[in-house]
Amino acid sequence: MSKIWRVASREYLSNLRRKSFIFTTFGIPILMIALILVITTLSIQAEAGDVNDQIGYVDHSGVLSRQIAIPDNYTMFDSEEAAEAALAADEIGAYFVVEPDYMATGSVTLYIASGGGDALIETFNQYLIANIDTGLNPEIAARVLDPVVMSLLTLNNGRQIEENSIGVIFMIPMIFVFVFFMAIQTTSGTLMSSVVEEKSSRVIEILVTSVTPFQLLAGKIIGLGALGITQISIWVGATLLVVLLSNAIPQLHGLSVPLDIIFVGITYFLLGYALTASFMAGIGAVAGSEQESRQIAGLAVFPLVIPFFFIYIFITDPNAPIAVFLTLFPLTAPVTAILRVGYSGIPTWQLVASILIMTITTLFAVWASARVFRWSILMYGKRPSLKRIIGAIFGRSEMQTTATGERAG
């Protein structure tokens, strides 16, 4: 166990200091936070730089006499002179004049100190609509004016999203999938590079006389898994910071980090990482070179991407057969599960079955990978055939050397 621990701590510490790791781990959150700060600053500056948002109006037609649903920043003036004086004194930023023949012509004039008036016209339109006497009582008129105040309650996961935060519903699961996908990619990719480096530099020749291939593999998986957890913690921490900052930005109101996504995410990260890392270790051990191992690894990671093509189905038909299949299939389960939990929820039986299947698959993959790793770690040059690799998993997996089967030196 102490040797596994030594390998693990070396993998963790040496990779923690790598420039690429530091850049990825801190660079992405820093960029994200910087972006939020820039948006916030611009938003605050824009608000601070706005012209006076107090609006006046003069109603010659009498259509606004009841002042139904009058906006807080609206003030009625008796005459255009009074409104003009208020505008000149900067008490108001603009004023409307509703002409006497409004009901017949719809004629309204806007006087504004500076800038465009699109937003003002929109709110004034709403105000006018509310006050045109349709014979409806004010309550009904208000409902006609704003028929829906949306509050979306997703039944499967019980998550409630207010109207102004519906836009962010898509963000959280995507952010989490991105975080876990990146963490799995980074750490398992590092594991593969580490195996390839030790093999190509021949350090492995010395290592196998000090540790068993299993100790070496286990140390690497544990050390780099811890590295992944560190990376995720930093990213999740940064996300929480973004959530705090987001309160300053109206468009991001309602952004929150649901605990169930974090829990499911961490569970699937650990399983997904161990599964991918096992593949990567096996690929690194049998591949002839770094380039070759990366090409094969691309194929191994591809299934993780497949669920992204089915996001629409996860939202519109959460329990469609393809959604259930992708949740249960181990290679697509991590990404599918996080997306589904985020968007629509997963029935408990599917979640339990998925985690169970994935755990069994991962345990098998670690075991098989350890056998392939042991079998091929001292073979250099030509990559063994798939048939021989399968033979090594299920047959006698004695460590092979380059000379094995040829002439031994």
Q: Shortest approach of other proteins to residue 195 CB, angstroms?
A: 13
Considering only the stretches 5-13, 176-184, 252-260, 361-369, report the one whose residues sit in contact with other proteins under the rule CB under 8 A: 5-13
Distance linking the first and last C-alpha atoms of the chain = 34
**Interactions with other proteins, residue window 370-399 (CB under 8 A):** 378, 380, 398-399
Q: Which of 114, 137, 201, 291 binds other proteins (CB under 8 A)?
A: 201
With 0-12 CB in 10 A as exposed, 13-18 as middle and 19+ as buried, what is 258? Answer: middle
Quick one: which segment of 3-11, 114-122, 231-239, 364-372 binds other proteins (CB under 8 A)? 3-11
| Nearest one of 144, 174, 193, 173 to 20, comparing CA atoms | 193
Interacting residues with other proteins between 140 and 199 (CB under 8 A): 197-198
In the complex, minimum distance from the CB of residue 196 to other proteins, in angstroms, rounded to a whole number: 12
Write each residue from 278 to 317 as x if it is in contact with other proteins (CB under 8 A), else as -, in one continuous string. Answer: ----------------------------------------
Judged by beta carbon, residue 83 or residue 221, the one nearer other proteins is 221
Q: Is 1 in the site for other proteins (CB under 8 A)?
A: no
* Cβ pair 73, 54 in contact under 8 A: yes
Q: How far is the CB of 372 from other proteins (least distance, A)?
A: 16
Among 46, 48, 149, 206, binds other proteins (CB under 8 A): 206
SS (H, E, C) the chain: CHHHHHHHHHHHHHHHCCHHHHHHHHHHHHHHHHHHHHHHHHHHHHHHHCCCCCEEEEECCCCCCCCCCCCCCEEEECCHHHHHHHHHCCCCCEEEEECCCHHHHCCEEEEECCCCCHHHHHHHHHHHHHHCCCCCCHHHHHHHHCCCCCEEECCCCCCEEEHHHHHHHHHHHHHHHHHHHHHHHHHHHHHHHHHHHHHHCCHHHHHCCCCCHHHHHHHHHHHHHHHHHHHHHHHHHHHHHHHHHHCCCHHHCCCCCCHHHHHHHHHHHHHHHHHHHHHHHHHHHHCCCHHHHHHHHHHHHHHHHHHHHHHHHHHHCCCCHHHHHHHHCCCCHHHHHHHHHHHCCCCHHHHHHHHHHHHHHHHHHHHHHHHHHHHHCECCCCCCCHHHHHHHHHCCCCCCECCCCCCCC
* Smaller CB separation from other proteins, 47 or 382: 382
Among 6, 60, 253, 294, binds other proteins (CB under 8 A): 6
Q: Which of 81, 101, 205, 317 binds other proteins (CB under 8 A)?
A: 205
CB of 2 to other proteins, least distance (A): 8
Q: What minimum distance in Å lies between the beta carbon of 286 and other proteins?
A: 17
User: Mask of contacts with other proteins, 326-365, x by CB under 8 A?
Assistant: ----------------------------------------
When the beta carbons of 321 and 407 are compared against other proteins, the nearer one is 407
How far is it, in rounded angstroms, from Cα 170 to Cα 311? 10
In whole angstroms, how close is the CB of 393 to other proteins at the nearest point? 19
- Closest approach of other proteins to the CB of residue 21, in Å: 14
| Positions 220 through 249 that interact with other proteins (CB under 8 A) | none
CA 21 to chain centre: 20
The distance of closest approach from Cβ of residue 408 to other proteins in the complex, given in angstroms and rounded to an integer, is: 4
Stretch that binds other proteins, among 2-10, 122-130, 133-141, 261-269 (CB under 8 A): 2-10
Among 22, 203, 244, 320, binds other proteins (CB under 8 A): 203
Query: Total residues at the site for other proteins (CB under 8 A)?
Result: 29
Query: Token match 């012209």: residue?
Result: 51
Q: Could you say whether residue 16 binds other proteins (CB under 8 A)?
A: no
Interface with other proteins by CB under 8 A: which residues?
Answer: 3, 6-7, 10, 14, 197-198, 201-203, 205-211, 378, 380, 398-399, 401, 403-409
